[in-house]
Chain A
Amino acid sequence: MINKDLVIIGGGPAGLSAAKLAAESGLSSLIVERDFKLGGQLVKQTHMFFGSEKQYAKTRGIDIAKILVDDVLKYPEMVEVMTDTTVVGLYEDKVITLLHNDEYIKVQSKAIIIATGASEKVLAFPNNDLPGIYGAGAVQTLMNVNGVLPGNDVVMVGSGNIGLIVSYQLIQAGVNVKCVIEASSSIGGYKVHASKLKRLGVDILTSHSVKRANGTEALESIVISKLDNNWDYIEGTEKTIEVDSLCISVGLSPLSSLLSMIGVDMKYVSSLGGLVPYIDSHHETSVKDVYVAGDVCGVEEASSAIVEGYLTGLIVASSLGFKHENYDELYRDFKAQLENLRSGPFGEKTREGLQEIARDHDVK
């Protein structure tokens, strides 16, 4: 059994920034990441980020990933990193079992920050399992990390920010985006992204959905249909579109299965993306010394995940006796940044959702 003060599960924006603030406070940590590299989903975000300077606005996500990774690599004695390592067990006494190179490793930790992020939702329609139907984020990885195109002709399902941004990036990579379809009667993401696509000649069809996909070994075409106000298909409005790729971008759900395993109290909150933990103002769950940061406690933009990571790293270090010399100032600043990021109309769902999972500071 290996002993650690803090284990951070997930090496994306939230996990990396938590490790940085913990290290700055004097607390060592171990970051466990199941991919073979750090950075999480930032490594494929070729677009400039929104937010303010403190969350690296106007810097491209790929470059923010480098900044955050370099920030933790500055503390080689404080931050240990295990990539290609999957957490397979998480127990209430804070014993963690890891799988790395076909070997089991047991770690006893004093505190845990779960920063596992979120995964893309799927959409139900006949033949939705055909090869050639992908999560939009998966296609973003394929293109922007691996340099491989998904196909020649694509339709995007979903007009949230991910759907709009990935459509634009498909065009940048040289793919023909035939249209974006959206079940709701209005565009879900930022209109600046929508306008960017429209002026490139890509139609965004609101009140439309996929009725079925066709193909034998792989996707060959899709049938789309208009929807009425009750989101039912309108007969006679079906249209077949020949595509070799279909991207599904209908939201993310928190990757909260490890939280279930450790027995954290959870709630299904649709405005946060799915099953999320009850948390207090310190991001501590109902299990003492088990904390969460980032999309796992409510799906938001990566800017918020970064700040949540900073905040949680700061708090956890303090709770283990490593209080940052500027604790009060930093605490107020991170809280204010989060409030600012969430205060507009696009933050409304998050604000409501977070109220539903707010819990008193008393821990079991």
Chain B
Amino acid sequence: MRITEHPILTFEQKAKLQFVFDGNKVYGYEGDTIASALHAMGVKKLSHSIHLKRPRGFYCAIGNCASCNMIVDEKPNVRTCVTLLKEGMVVKTQLNKGELYD
């Protein structure tokens, strides 16, 4: 859900950015972080706890708590709350600690 009318702020309609989330083609807008784009689509579960696999979402929005870590373009543990969305990104829910990549 996006804000359309606000007493203090103006949110201009920005360019649409297409990306892939867990295999599905979806989109956000320029200026979105990966986490905000997913949230606007109603996706609240961004990650899982390492051992008990409990669902985890956005918590701190400053790149500190690791609750929103996801796999972005094959790279694990990306802090999606402070990573800007880019056209064509491939975003996946992370189920483990993350594997080393090349």
Contact = CB atoms under 8 A, between A and B. Distances in A.
Answer yes or no: do A and B interact: yes
Interface of A: 34-36, 41, 46, 60, 62, 86, 117, 119-120, 122, 129-135, 137-139, 141-152, 172-174, 217-218, 255
A46 B2 CA distance: 17
B62 interface: yes
A154 to B, nearest CB: 13
Contacts, number: 106
Interface residues of B, number: 36
A149 B6 CA distance: 12
Chain B residues touching A, majority SS: loop
Contact of B54 (A129, A132, A138): A129
A133 B7 CA distance: 26
Contact of A131 (B11, B36, B46, B82): B46
B57 A131 contact: yes
Given A131-B46, A217-B45, A46 B8 contact: yes
Contacts of A138: 58-62, 81
17 contacts: A35-B62, A36-B82, A119-B62, A119-B65, A120-B60, A129-B56, A135-B65, A138-B58, A138-B61, A145-B36, A146-B36, A146-B39, A148-B2, A148-B39, A174-B3, A218-B44, A218-B45
Interface of B: 1-3, 5-9, 11, 31-33, 36, 39-40, 44-46, 49, 54-65, 67, 81-84
A36 to B, nearest CB: 6
A240 B49 CA distance: 26
Contacts of A217: 44-45, 55
